[in-house]
């Protein structure tokens, strides 16, 4: 008999990619499994999930807007309507297990599943659990985590250290350096820095590149600069005729494996999914945590690595002044590069998707 699994969450690539990885692993382990995704209307999962070959249902739910109280007026109504829609989806699909990966839709879907007796599994990606997951964790059958010490947020007997599911195609970099540099039209003999702010980009990182442009050019290093689709056109106009050949500015990186393979040093935000990929890639990393996230969880993610001497960190506030100097200093320190590379690689967990899928199927069989 086919197992029926619902996977809920999204909002960012950091939630969507692990969700799709779990779905793929479920089908690999049991090809008869039926999977339905539940996301938030208007968010990127409504496009990315169907593109990966899965059906998705949208809930009309949003997060709390911390900048404008008035924009939260409709939130209670949206929450109630999402709970009722979640109930209908769970019943109509006849779900055996509901999996939550974080994001707006995850809360109402798992809450309703718990209320009507459908077992749930939480995949907590960050080193600091959010309020919603802490509440949902009390009723969940299993909580799969990526960091040690998560018993401070969840019942210890439910916690399982699995790591975060990652895009395997993105971290397969062995033997690809030469073809990667060729793909970016870069020089094989020069050092290469990868700067990535995620699919939407990061304003701070973009400003750091602009502020440090003269230093990067003077050092004669190469830069793969993923500035984000949101900023690309504006920056293209602003920097017209100012970027030399060795600085490649791109809106989006279609081949993350090439970007990782080409890089000697990586500068990135500290989202859970990004960090999980970086651990597998094993290159020296400087993290610049975004301050615009709930509970400042990116800083906590970054600190979890710096405490193990597995990454360097520069705060968002000081990045415009210090980041480029920091990366150029690291570029000259091969001993430190080797230390960071060795330590971050020791934290890698490649098979998180398969371990989580196994747990989901175990719960379904019970």
Q: How many helices (H) and strands (E) does the chain have?
A: 16, 13
Is 14 marked within a binding site?
yes
Is 126 marked within a binding site?
yes
Alpha-carbon gap, residue 341 to 286, rounded angstroms: 11
CA dihedral sign, ordered 30, 17, 15, 49: negative
Partners of 285 in the β-ladder = 266
Q: How many CB atoms lie within 10 A of CB 315?
A: 15
Alpha-carbon gap, residue 108 to 116, rounded angstroms: 12
DSSP for residue 41:
T
Is 167 marked within a binding site?
yes
Is 13 marked within a binding site?
yes
- H/E element holding 160? strand 159-161
Instruction: Return the closest-CA partner of residue 15 out of 112, 124, 114.
Output: 124
Residues near 109 by Cβ (< 8 Å), separated by ≥ 6?
A: 6, 8, 38, 59, 86, 89, 90, 98, 100
Q: What tokens appear for 232 in the block?
A: 């690309």
Enumerate the H helices of 145-285 as residue ranges: 168-171, 177-183, 203-211, 213-219, 232-238, 256-262, 272-281
- Listing DSSP states for 314-343 in one string gives --HHHHHHHHHHHHHHHHT-HHHHHHHHHH
Is 199 marked within a binding site?
yes
Q: Which residues are annotated as a binding site for UDP-N-acetyl-alpha-D-glucosamine?
A: 12-14, 126, 167, 199, 298
Which residues fall in the annotated binding site? 12-14, 126, 167, 199, 298
């Amino acid at each position: 008999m086919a197992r029926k699994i619902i996977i809920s969450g999204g909002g960012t690539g950091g939630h969507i990619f692990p969700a799709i990885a779990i779905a793929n692993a479920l089908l690999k382990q049991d090809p008869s499994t039926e999977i339905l995704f539940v996301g938030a209307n208007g968010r990127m999962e409504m496009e990315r999930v169907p593109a990966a070959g899965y059906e998705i249902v949208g809930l009309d739910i949003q997060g709390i807007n911390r900048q404008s109280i008035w924009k939260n007026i409709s939130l209670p109504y949206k929450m109630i309507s999402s709970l009722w829609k979640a109930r209908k989806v769970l019943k109509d699909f006849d779900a055996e297990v509901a999996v939550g990966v974080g994001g707006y839709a995850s809360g109402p879907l798992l809450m309703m599943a718990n209320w009507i007796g459908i077992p749930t599994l939480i995949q907590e990606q960050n080193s600091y659990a959010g309020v919603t997951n802490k509440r949902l964790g009390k009723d969940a059958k299993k909580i799969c985590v990526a960091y040690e010490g998560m018993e401070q947020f969840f019942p210890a007997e439910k916690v399982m250290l699995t790591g975060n599911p990652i895009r395997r195609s993105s971290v397969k970099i062995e033997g690809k350096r030469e073809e990667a540099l060729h793909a970016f039209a870069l020089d094989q003999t020069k050092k290469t820095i990868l700067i990535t702010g995620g699919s939407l980009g990061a304003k701070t990182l973009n400003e750091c590149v602009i502020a440090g442009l003269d230093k990067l050019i003077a050092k004669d290093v190469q830069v793969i600069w993923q500035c984000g689709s949101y900023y690309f056109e504006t920056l293209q106009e602003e920097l017209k005729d100012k970027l030399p050949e060795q600085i490649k500015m791109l809106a989006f990186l279609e081949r993350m494996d090439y970007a990782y393979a080409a890089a000697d040093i990586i500068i990135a935000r500290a989202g859970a999914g990004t960090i999980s990929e970086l651990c597998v890639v094993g290159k020296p990393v400087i993290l610049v945590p975004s301050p615009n996230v709930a509970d400042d969880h990116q800083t906590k993610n970054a600190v979890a690595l710096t405490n193990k001497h597995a990454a360097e960190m520069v705060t968002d506030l000081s990045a415009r002044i210090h980041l480029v100097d920091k990366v150029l200093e690291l570029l000259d320190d091969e001993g430190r590069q080797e230390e960071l590379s060795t330590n971050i690689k020791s934290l890698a967990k490649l098979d998180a998707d398969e371990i989580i899928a196994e747990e989901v199927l175990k719960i379904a069989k019970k």
